[in-house]
Structure 1
Amino acid sequence: MDSPQPTVPNRSREKGLKMVCGSFYIPKQKDSKPQGDDAHFICAEKQTIGVADGVGGWSSKGVDAGQYARELMANSIKAIQDEEKGGVDPRRVIDEAYSNTNVEGSSTACILTLKNNKLHAANVGDSGFMLIREWKDVYKSPVQQHSFNHPYQLGNETSCDRPSAARTYKVPVKLWDVIVMGTDGLFDNIFADNIVDVAKMVIENGAEPEQVAWAIAEHAYYNSLDKFAATPYAEAALMAGKERLGGKPDDITVIVAFIVEK
């Protein structure tokens, strides 16, 4: 079932809009495991972006936790290329990518496309996206998790979730909106209003999307290493009855998209 749609006003119907995107990735173990467990893609031609976060628990079973995420995103790109002229359907992309990903492991996933001046997204787990307009956090996709630190995840094991668990969203956009997509390494380590502050600071200094993604990722990374930082992860732990301070060391993927005229 589709989620209730967020009420975001659209004042841009008279103009065709597009996304101009850039990304930055910081693996948790930079030297020993430079690929990390996250994966992402940007498909400018199809105006579609995606992120995935391989579930690290597979490492204890001798499985590369990032392999599933990387194959899922590679298969998402293939599914996007097969889409008809009507545009990309993120939910269908997740279905097809899941069907063609047969390696061991599991992963969260978020696919987002821009068509008809609206963001169309499908999400499984605690990766996600947020919309910034006029330096305000206008919308943030909700987290899907079974319990604290146990997100929904796609995989081939019986304990994993299926694409039918994906929540779908349609969010109208307008000229000069900024989209920030990321894995939980981003959203666990920096609050939405701080993401807005960082984006505002660097964009007003002329930064391009990749530079904005780098600045946001760096702030999240520093927080992840700070044992006393106020973070969404520490806040969520407290709400779950667990006392924990500081950030959460994790792979951090950030994609930033500017909404501009075609």
Structure 2
Amino acid sequence: MAASTASRLSPPRPTASSPYPRPPPRLSRFSSLRAAKMEAVLSIGTHVIPHPRKVETGGEDAFFVGGDGGGVFAIADGVSGWAEKNVNPALFSREVMANSSTFIKDEEASNDPQILLMKAHAATSSIGSATVIIAMLEKTGTLKIASVGDCGLKVIRKGQVMFSTYPQEHYFDCPYQISSEAIGQTYQDALVCTVNLMEGDMIVSGSDGFFDNIFDQEILAVISESPGIDEAAKALAELARKHSVDVRFDSPYSIEARSRGFDVPWWKKLLGAKLTGGKMDDITVIVAQVKTVAVPDDEGSGVEQEKGGEQVTVAATASAEQNE
């Protein structure tokens, strides 16, 4: 009787010719697949083109890329007006970026771009001023941004611009800026915001020399046509440079100038003329793509695997002399 009960409660034992499929193998609690969790990282490309008259000195822009998983980048644009006081405007922006690369290792600053800006600025001893933008990607996919002035950042998703920062300025062509002087702005004046990102989102950031000379639709076209982030950064910088020296190009800068009342004399307007042309300047472009990687948690086997099999590599620099 006991044998009869057992035969009713137990499933048939599968054989080679049995119609019953084998159950899937159970994953061990120590399996690397079970232990893996997904984290967001950035794959980053950069390109710098100095002002045509500042090629020998490398220009006055500076940038920094680094952090855990390449999740931090920053741009500082030295204010050229200091040259009139016999001060090299590049020294201030480069030192701010160098200090950013140092303080990113600080626990408090590593999670807050505004705090990183505060510490980098406070440690800078050079004379001058600069506009600055700092962006940090958390492993959860949240992008934190702190910006003083008119360096910019755009997020592109599925071929559309879904987020843009906006410049801070005292008046036209005079942006907010952190400075060695007490009258300048500080981290407390920064535009601070967060954006929730998805895998595949593209981030395009740059100095005003970039955004003054290129339109959103041009950025979208270059991104869609570029095979990778390095190629995209280079193509965007070169297109902005081309526009910057074209006196006939109706640039974002010239359109903004006309809207603020800056234009050709009235008698030229009667002849149909208007203020046009790009704005020659240092051009810095950073293009980043959000990727997800599978990493082991505390129970994992120690194996790290990136989704898609690509290796994310990140370069760090605190100088705008990339092309030299």
Q: TM-score, normalised by structure 2?
A: 0.73
Q: Higher mean Cα deviation, 29-38 or 68-77? A: 29-38
Tell me how large the CA RMSD over aligned residues is.
1.6
| Residue of structure 1 in register with 2:310 after alignment | none
Find 2:213's aligned residue among 189, 196, 199. 189
3-state SS, counterpart of residue 186 of structure 1: helix
2:67–2:104 CA contact under 8 A, matched in 1: no
Q: Higher mean Cα deviation, 87-96 or 38-47? A: 38-47
CA distance in 2, matches of 1:31, 1:25: 12
CA distance in 2, matches of 1:65, 1:234: 25
Q: 1:31 to 1:157 in 2, by over 3 A?
A: closer
Q: Note the residue ranges of structure 2 that are not aligned, 5 or more in a row.
A: 1-36, 264-274, 294-324
Q: CA deviation at 1:35?
A: 1.6
3-state SS, counterpart of residue 281 of structure 2: coil
* Identical-pair percentage: 35
| Residue of structure 1 in register with 2:222 after alignment | 198
| Residue of structure 2 in register with 1:178 after alignment | 202
Q: Report matched runs for 1:223-262 at 5 Å.
A: 223-243=243-263, 244-262=275-293
Matched, 1:139 2:169: no
Matched, 1:113 2:142: no
3-state SS, counterpart of residue 63 of structure 1: coil
Q: CA deviation at 1:82?
A: 1.4
| Residue of structure 2 in register with 1:218 after alignment | 238
AA at the equivalent of 1:260? K
| Residue of structure 2 in register with 1:68 after alignment | 92
1:42–1:48 CA contact under 8 A, matched in 2: yes
Q: CA deviation at 1:216?
A: 0.4
Q: State the Cα deviation string for residues 91-116 of structure 1 (Å, max 9, x = none).
A: 00000001001111000000001002
Find 2:83's aligned residue among 38, 59, 67. 59
Q: State the Cα deviation string for residues 113-154 of structure 1 (Å, max 9, x = none).
A: 100211101000000210000110111101111110000000
3-state SS, counterpart of residue 104 of structure 2: helix
CA distance in 1, matches of 2:103, 2:49: 26
CA distance in 1, matches of 2:172, 2:277: 16
3-state SS, counterpart of residue 60 of structure 1: helix
AA at the equivalent of 1:107? A
Q: CA deviation at 1:228?
A: 1.2
1:128–1:182 CA contact under 8 A, matched in 2: yes
**Structure whose alpha-carbon radius of gyration is higher:** 2
1:126–1:152 CA contact under 8 A, matched in 2: yes
Q: CA deviation at 1:88?
A: 2.2
CA distance in 2, matches of 1:110, 1:117: 19
Runs of 4+ in structure 1 over 2 Å off: 29-34
Q: CA deviation at 1:83?
A: 2.4
CA distance in 2, matches of 1:31, 1:122: 28
Q: CA deviation at 1:62?
A: 0.8
3-state SS, counterpart of residue 210 of structure 2: helix
Q: 1:33 to 1:61 in 2, by over 3 A?
A: farther
| Residue of structure 1 in register with 2:31 after alignment | none
Matched, 1:42 2:47: no
3-state SS, counterpart of residue 16 of structure 1: strand
AA at the equivalent of 1:247? G
| Residue of structure 2 in register with 1:23 after alignment | 46
CA distance in 1, matches of 2:123, 2:196: 31
Q: Higher mean Cα deviation, 98-107 or 75-84? A: 75-84
Q: CA deviation at 1:34?
A: 3.5
AA at the equivalent of 1:214? K
Aligned length: 244
1:20–1:44 CA contact under 8 A, matched in 2: no
Q: Higher mean Cα deviation, 192-201 or 53-62? A: 192-201
3-state SS, counterpart of residue 129 of structure 1: strand
3-state SS, counterpart of residue 249 of structure 1: coil
Q: Note the residue ranges of structure 1 that are not aligned, 5 or more in a row.
A: 1-13
Q: 1:74 to 1:87 in 2, by over 3 A?
A: closer
AA at the equivalent of 1:259? V
1:178–1:258 CA contact under 8 A, matched in 2: yes
